[in-house]
Amino acid sequence: MTPEPLPPIEIQPRDLSPYRAGNTGIDYVHRFDSGKPGPHVMVNALTHGNEFCGMVAATHLLDAGVRPHIGTLTVSFANVAAYESFDPAQPFESRQLVHNMNRIWSAAQLDGDEDSPELARARQMRPAVAAADHILDIHSTSRDVSPFWVYPQFERNTTAALALGRPSVHLVMPQGMGTGTPLIQHGLHGSAVHHGVGLVVECGQHFKRSTGEFAIAVALDFLAHFGLQEPRTARAPHHHQPQQRYQLLQTWVVRTPQFRFTRPLVGFETFAKDELIATDGSDEIRAPCDECTVLMPARIVVVGREGVYLTRPLR
């Protein structure tokens, strides 16, 4: 694949050392208890080190002194080690150091013998994640596409995402990501019988200023939805936007360095049934249905990482 020009870096990384101590005994994890009954809500940032919008939202909550009116609020920064490795000349390389930190939250991996900076950090954060009733995990995308939700196909997640209204696009996962266990499916959050909502919000292109602004707005919406902040006094326009939902059909993991798309893709392009989307060595990736919509096509080919998500519209 021909290298793409690097995007402008409108959000500059900032020093997070003032946020390291926290108040939970876990570095970069801050918890605030209202002293009143209510849910425990977690807003998590930097599951991937170069997704700066989460850093913008989390530091905003902490710097502005946002405190829960009821229940408990936890604000956390996850993969700070990857974040600190950021090089503007290679802005996509600090996504992770070894493991994708959004695929390692199964008991098998967290209790296993393997080690990496991401596994070590996930093991540190495990009690904080498990303690939360509701989790908002803030992410961004390598390309400049409309923001969207990502969540397991549990009714509790669908209800919350539709009620929040912003963003208006949803990626629904009937069987998870297919490539590991995300943070929002750790422990009971991966269970159909659990009460807790777990949502990923993809806020836009990694380094755009507007992506950080969107992340702040969604974080505040999420807290208001569960009663930790006052609801907005007026219904914002996003509440009236039509909601577009897509069901994840297949996650294609890159098998060879020869992975190629048949045409340039940024995301949300559609293909007819059996139309060729990409080749991966001798393998062909074809649309499994009409109106097959591709999400998050790889910007950089890395064997063993996701190349593209194949979805279908949900009517």
List, run by run, the mean pLDDT of 10-residue segments along the chain (315 residues). Answer: 85 96 97 98 98 98 98 98 97 97 98 97 98 98 96 97 97 92 96 96 98 98 97 59 94 97 97 98 97 96 95 93
- In three-state form (DSSP H/G/I as H, E/B as E, the rest C), the secondary structure along the chain is CCCCCCCCCCCCCCCCHHHCCCCCCCCCEEEEECCCCCCEEEEEECCCCCCHHHHHHHHHHHHCCCCCCCCEEEEEECCHHHHCCCCCCCCCHHHCCCCCCCCECCHHHHCCCCCCHHHHHHHHHHHHHHHCCEEEEEEEECCCCCCEEEEECCHHHHHHHHHHCCCCEEEEECCCCCCCECHHHCHHHHCCCCCCCEEEEEEEECCCHHHHHHHHHHHHHHHHHCCCCCCCCCCCHHHHCCCEEEEEEEEEECCCCCCEECCCCCCCCEECCCCEEEEECCEEEECCCCCEEEECCCCCCCCCCEEEEEEEEEC
Is the domain of 294 the same as that of 258? yes
4 falls within a domain = no
Residue-level pLDDT at 231: 83
The reported pTM is: 0.95
153 falls within a domain = yes
Is the domain of 160 the same as that of 290? no
Is the domain of 95 the same as that of 207? yes
Residue-level pLDDT at 176: 85
Domain that holds residue 305: 249-314
Residue-level pLDDT at 236: 54
CATH number of the domain to which 265 belongs: 2.40.50.630
Is the domain of 186 the same as that of 276? no
Residue-level pLDDT at 237: 53
Residue-level pLDDT at 232: 66
Is the domain of 48 the same as that of 149? yes
6 falls within a domain = no
211 falls within a domain = yes
Is the domain of 205 the same as that of 292? no
Domains contained in the chain, number: 2
Is the domain of 67 the same as that of 114? yes
Is the domain of 172 the same as that of 118? yes
Is the domain of 206 the same as that of 304? no
Residue-level pLDDT at 3: 73
